[in-house]
Amino acid sequence: MNTSKRTKLHRRQCHGNRKLRRFKKKCRQRGMNDEEIQRLIQDRQQQQQQPRQKESDIQMKETNDIELRQSKNVTRKISKTKRKLKKKIKKCKKLKVASTKFNRRLPMYLKKEPSILMQSVRLHLQQKLTNKKHQQFIYQRIPLLDQQYRLGQYRFLWQTYLTLGSLSNFWPMCIQKKLKSTNNESSVQYIEHRLNELEKEYHECINELKKQAELCPIKMGPFDILNQKLKEFVRLQRTRFTEKLNAQLTRYKNYIHENELYKTLLSHIHTDEQKSTIDQLIFIRERQLEIFENYLR
């Protein structure tokens, strides 16, 4: 109980603002009314608030100035980056692709931005290409070399079709579907016609490359080494295309081999029942292969 009483005695009681009470007491001693005292208090409060407002206004101005400076710096940086991008775009626009009549479809690596393409060429050549004339020459030469490589690969494919087909008398399924027949003469004529077209386009491409080689700048170094490196670059970029053509060839070779095996198998069959059972087995096997291919897709 004693401890609780002591704590109650030691607690301080709040009686309002002491300064105001003292000020009011002094004013009453001087003989002032309550109204006069209230006016004096209001005047004092206004005088105290004015310097605080000035300080807050100064702080607001300072913060606004800092924000303006920061925004100006940001806008300057953005404008600098935009200028740099515009310069790069202008440089890229100046590089023009060689216009070719036989150019049908550009591959993915030639559809990229000129700056990205030139960067990859730079890395492959292992040399800097700062001169615009050098960049222009390489940028025009790569599509021509790409076309030469593409036509060369197609020539090889169709030539193998002709040689293997004339030896085995089995022609690719794509040619059979196109002609809607398995006639040897019509197949040979169709392949020869296609080879003549490819040969013509290939010679046109070589002529274009020769004309463009005359415009090669002297400071680029030996032309043969540069041309070989660019051909290697095109070959590396076209790996998927070559894999696709090789897959077509292997499919055709497998087709010939299957037909030859079927011929040898038929030579040992003497009855119609045996033949019908073998045909059924072949049909089931082909159906299984089709389902498996669709599953892989």
Q: What is the pLDDT of residue 25?
A: 81
Query: Over the stretch 194-246, which tens digit does the pLDDT of each residue have?
Result: 999 999 999 999 999 999 988 888 777 788 899 999 999 999 999 999 999 99
State the chain's mean pLDDT as an integer.
80
Please check whether residue 200 lies inside any domain of the structure.
yes
pLDDT, mean of residues 106-133: 88
By the 8 A CB rule, do 97 and 143 touch? yes
Structure tokens at 26: 């002094």
Please report, rounded to a whole number, the percentage of residues in the chain having pLDDT higher than 90: 29
> How many structural domains does the chain have?
1
* 275 inside domain: no
For residue 74, being part of any structural domain is answered with no
Q: What is the spatial distance between Cα 228 and Cα 239, in angstroms, rounded to a whole number? A: 17
Provide the pLDDT confidence category of residue 55 given band limits of 50, 70 and 90. low
The strand ranges marked E within 102-205 are none
Whole-number Cα distances in Å, 67 to 54, 57, 64, 79, 287: 20, 15, 5, 18, 74
Distance of CA 189 to the CA centre of its chain: 43
Classify residue 39: in a domain, yes or no: no
Higher pLDDT, 198 or 25: 198
Q: Which residue has the higher pLDDT, 117 or 71?
A: 117
Determine if the pTM surpasses 0.95.
no
* Range with top average pLDDT, 53-67, 76-90, 106-120, 235-249: 235-249
User: Which pLDDT value is given to residue 268?
Assistant: 75
pLDDT: which is higher, 235 or 178? 235
Q: Measure the CA–CA gap between 193 and 190, rounded to whole angstroms.
A: 5
Which segment of 36-45, 70-79, 149-158, 178-187 scores lowest on mean pLDDT? 70-79
247 found inside a domain:
yes
**Domain range enclosing 232:** 108-253
pLDDT of residue 266: 74
Q: Which amino acid is at 6?
A: R
pLDDT of residue 13: 56
Answer whether residue 177 shows pLDDT above 90: no
In a domain, 4, yes or no: no
* 260 closest CA partner among 187, 170, 177, 179: 170
% of the chain surpassing 70 pLDDT: 78
Residues 6+ apart with CB under 8 A from 165: 171, 172, 184, 187, 188, 191
**Interval 97-115 mean pLDDT:** 72
The residue ranking higher by pLDDT, 144 or 180, is 144
Question: Is residue 242, in this structure, part of any structural domain at all?
Answer: yes
pLDDT over 90 (residue 35) = no
> Does the pLDDT value for residue 92 go beyond 50?
no
Most confident of the ranges 76-85, 102-111, 117-126: 117-126
C-alpha 221/C-alpha 137 separation (Å) is 13
Q: What band does 156 get if pLDDT is binned at 50, 70 and 90?
A: very high
